[in-house]
Amino acid sequence: MSFPAPDIAVPERVRELARGAALTPVWLNNIGGLTFRTDDGRYIKWGPHDLEANMRDEAERMRWASRWIAVPEVLDQGQDAHQEWLVTIALRGRSAADPRWHDDPERAVRAVGEGLRMLHDALPVDECPWEWSVGSRTAGAAERGTIVPVDLRDAPPVDRLVVCHGDACLPNTLLTDDGVVAGHVDLAALGVADRWADIAVASMSTEWNLGDGWQDTLIDAYGIAPDRERLDYYRRLWNET
């Protein structure tokens, strides 16, 4: 994932959804999907169909999670044979991976850890209709033709079941300019799992966005000591599925 060039081509569907509003590209994912901010307070997410996570699921999960946490309000979601799209109302704040935080990485990292703990504590496991368990993830990978190493089917005992974000990387936590969590985005994989499934990915994402040295800072901000066995396992599971 990366920040797109300002002059990137705007898909025709995005222009239609913008309804004349000015568009600023803000995100490019690894399959060519794009996110744009409009000058009238919306975000338009567009991309080719993704076998791993689709925008229909994302819209459904955001509507459910909005009862307990700050997530974007869904205005429109749709798809055709070649593409899918999602339109939401913009939340205040900007991504924890935004260049604004390059000179103050510790504040951003700690905010992401605190925000993840808030999400885990707020969303009710008993009311969540989805799972993000090891079994569901390995089964999904197999359906996509990915061969998962046999030893990954033997997961560590569950520490604490929570409703996991499912992609708890820095770019998916929004922060105000003073480093307060403003909300969460990209919830297409949200579901019940061991909390370490999220913690492992969130802490690992600090390397992708900020470089070495911040993983344990995020875990400390979450409010728990690092569990090296579970961290290693769930990072491998992420990379293999």
DSSP-derived 3-state class of residue 194: strand
Alpha carbon distance 57, 66 (integer Å)? 14
Catalytic residue among 57, 167, 194, 198: 167
- Residue 151 marked as a ligand binder: no
Q: Cβ-count burial of 224 within 10 angstroms (0-12 exposed, 13-18 middle, 19+ buried)?
A: middle
The H or E element spanning position 173 is strand 173-175
Helix axes 195-210, 228-240, angle to 10 degrees: 70
- Residue 126 marked as a ligand binder: no
Name the nearest CA neighbour of 85 among 152, 146, 10, 184.
Answer: 10
Half-sphere exposure of 91 (CA within 13 A, CB side): 24
- Classify residue 42 as left (phi > 0), alpha (psi -120 to 50) or beta: beta
Alpha carbon distance 140, 97 (integer Å)? 28
Question: Does residue 167 have an active-site annotation?
Answer: yes
Binding-site residues sit at 172, 186
Instruction: Give catalytic residues, as residue numbers.
Output: 167
Residue ranges of the binding site for Mg(2+) = 172, 186
